[in-house]
Amino acid sequence: MKKRAILLSALLMLSASSYGEEVFKLEKTQITATRVEREELDIPAGVETVTKEEIEMERQYNVAEFLEGLPGVQATTKNGGYDVRLIIRGGGLKAPYGVREINIMLDGVPITDPDGFTRMDFIDPQLLEQIEIVKGPNSTLYGANSAGGVVNFITINPFKFQGFKVRAGYGNYSTYMYRLLYGGNDGNNLYYNANFSYRKSDSWREWNRFESFQTTTKLGWLIDDASSLETTVSFTKSDLQLPGSLDKEQFEQDPSQQTDSPWRKSGRYSRIFFWSNKYTNELSDRMTLKATAYLQRWTHYHPVFGRVNEGGSYVGGIDTQLEYKHKMFGRDALLITGVQARYDHYNSKRYTYELCKLIDGTIDYCRNATSDNQIEYVLTDNKDQLYDDQKNRNYTAGVFAQETVHPTEKTILDLGIRFDTVHFDVKKTSFYTLEYVYNRTYRYYGPYYIKYDTPIYEKATKTWNYVSPRIGLVYKWKPNISTYATISTGFQTPQDSELLVNPGLDASTTTNYEAGFRAVNNFLYVSSAVFFMETRNEIVRTYTPEGDRWYMNAGKTHKSGFEFESKLKLMPGVFIGGSFTYYDFKYKSFVYVDDDGNVINYSGKKMHYIPKYMYSLYSMGKFRSGFKYRIEVNTWGPYYADDANTEKYSDYKNITNLMIGYEKGRKWEVSFDVRNVFDKKYAAQYLKTDWGYNIYPAPPRTYMVRASYKF
């Protein structure tokens, strides 16, 4: 800590001779929490807003950079590239990969599937202008799979950016990033921008190469004084090798090594097309119409555990919102009502791996392995025989309304309600199954494929109907000091794989009780919140007497916590700040049967991978001389590695990141940033399972030099 204090003092002394620009905002606004623009002081919910200026102080290589250190948010990466392990107040904990239980949006358009899964390769970190986060359930405004929260990634607006900007960056482990951004207008009412970005890294781990190319074009048309149309078209080509997890001994010996799992050629190679159209029309002084229509097409080649997944989806939807300004209690009021609908047309074929080394040392087709001569490991990520064929036809639709009134001069009351229907139609035909057995001759527990004599047909059709109410109250003691209280609700559907196993599964529901305080003035920002959440019908994994995996609604969790955040302006352009989070997350009811037939009771146990506390300290500044800097220190307190609470992990502490840079006249900029300055060895995820340890090492010290110029 002494080294960190000296480093921070040196940065402050270096720049204290020149006063800075006022570019970092203490008072922020966002749209996502209430669907209309509001100051954070007027929002009855736990929210975070990351501004353009704060985004530009980061490397902009992975979106976890912008989210780590925020109170109530766990953000890290297990696999580098675009991969993000995101958990908000415990929402997202169940996700073994990707993001679940959190509704992720790109420019207000949902990119989360109806079963709650999100692929983060949609998002270009170099194009982001603002990130808006709502913590806790928000199904009242955003429907299913918002039980953990909502995150809206907002990209550069075509109406705002003019000019031509180039950026290039180089870092260790052969890491590169480039961007070309051009924006302008036709001299009248048509605005446009085009962006081309590229990221590539050979990585510090084996089998972890990453390469991504993204292009985005935006058109903005001011139709007349009251209406506008904005169109976005983007394409993403993203390839990421997945190095896999390590056991405890491997992590201690060499965290850069690849997993020794039989499936050591995992990866995800995706192609994404994204198209959205947003129409806004101020119909009158009192009424505004906002309508969005979108289409997404994604495909991937995805070698993973035991299978090579090849498939994709067509996703289309609409979001229509009507805002009506009126009077109530003699004061201004606002009614928001709207309709959302989304359809997912998903086809996936999974294949056996092609070539393997078998346990007796021979090289053969993986399908030829047997119970006496199992697969030791795959040699390529090539596909071979069709393993199964799955088709999903899922849709979700909802209608919502929210009334915002001012019962008194100092109060703001939000009353919201929503009705959703979610329908899953999942069909799967299986031609193979995968078994693990113990080989006494080689003392090896390994896998092999078994081909069915006749295909196995499975089908699951289910419709859920839910009503999600919400009430929120803000009391403004002064124009710059407020308190709030809210009761909000959310629901989470099962995953398609869970539903195929048990078609009778119900959705889990979460109710959040929360109160908070905010204050801001010219030099200080303070925010705090306390919350209690109860989740019912939690979906838990169990086993049948035959040892087959089974899912059931049997769990109940209680989550209580405290969050605090503050930022202090030391001088114009120079800030220090920090955040603190305390968690007490427990299984109120969690009983299941393991694959040996034993009844396991985790009721009263702490939830795994949830730290007892987290804190972040930082300082950042931007000066008229052109010098700028940011330094931050992030710590997670100890967390349990398993639900049985047999082991804790506590080495995620004092992870320090530093950026120093120089700008001149808003034309050109150069920066140097280092992440994990002191090269600390720690795990991004440290879990203990029935089969051993599941450890994903975090990156060692990495650096990047960036330069940009705006013509």
Q: How confident is the model at residue 442, as a pLDDT?
A: 86
- Supply 628's token pair: 């700028």
Task: Return d(Cα 294, Cα 276) in angstroms, integer.
Answer: 4
- Report d(CA 326, CA 307) in Å as an integer: 57
Kindly indicate the confidence band of residue 546, based on its pLDDT and cuts at 50, 70 and 90: low
Q: How confident is the model at residue 113 (pLDDT cuts 50, 70, 90)?
A: confident
> Which among 528, 550, 526, 531 has a CA at the least distance from the CA of 540?
550
Residue 6 has pLDDT above 50, yes or no: no
Assign 361 a pLDDT band (cuts: 50, 70, 90): very high
pLDDT number for residue 403 = 97
Q: How confident is the model at residue 20, as a pLDDT?
A: 46
Radius of gyration over alpha carbons of the chain, in Å? 26
Please give the Cα distance from 44 to 514 (Å, whole number).
Answer: 9
Mean pLDDT of all residues in 90-107: 88
358/365 Cα distance (integer angstroms): 9
Q: Under DSSP, is residue 439 helix (H, G, I), strand (E, B) or coil?
A: strand
Which SS3 state, helix, strand or coil, does residue 3 take?
Answer: helix
Q: What is the pLDDT of residue 5?
A: 45
Retrieve residue 435's tokens.
């078994």
**Residue given tokens 């299984």 in the structure block:** 587
CA dist., res. 543 & res. 85, Å (int): 27
pLDDT for residue 378 is more than 90: yes
DSSP 25: -
Report which residue type is found at 700: P
**Average pLDDT, integer, range 45-72:** 95
- 79-83, 183-187, 652-656 — most confident range: 652-656
Which H, E and C letters describe 56-101, residue by residue?
CCCCCCCCHHHHCCCCCEEEECCCCCCCCEEEECCECCCCCCCEEC
**pLDDT-based confidence at residue 23 (cuts at 50, 70, 90):** low
Is the per-residue pLDDT at 117 higher than 90?
no
What is the residue-wise DSSP string for 182-207? EEEE-SSSEEEEEEEEEEEE--SSTT
State the average pLDDT over residues 478-483.
Answer: 96
The whole-number average pLDDT for the span 432-446 is 91
* Contact status, residue 66 vs residue 128, Cβ threshold 8 Å: yes
| Torsion sign (Cα): 683, 684, 690, 693 | negative
pLDDT of residue 207: 97
The predicted pLDDT at position 99 comes to: 87
SS3 state at 665:
coil
> Residue 13: pLDDT above 70?
no
What does the pLDDT average to over 649-676?
95
- Residue 119 to residues 26, 143, 187, 299: CA-CA distances in angstroms? 32, 19, 38, 11
430: tokens are 């299986």
Rounded to two decimals, what is the model's pTM? 0.95
Question: For position 598, what pLDDT does the model report?
Answer: 82
pLDDT number for residue 10: 41
Give the model confidence (pLDDT) of 218-232 as tens digits. 999 999 999 999 999
- pLDDT at residue number 545: 64
Say whether pLDDT at 22 is over 60: no
The pLDDT tens digits for 408-427 are 999 999 999 999 999 999 99
Residue 391 has pLDDT above 80, yes or no: yes
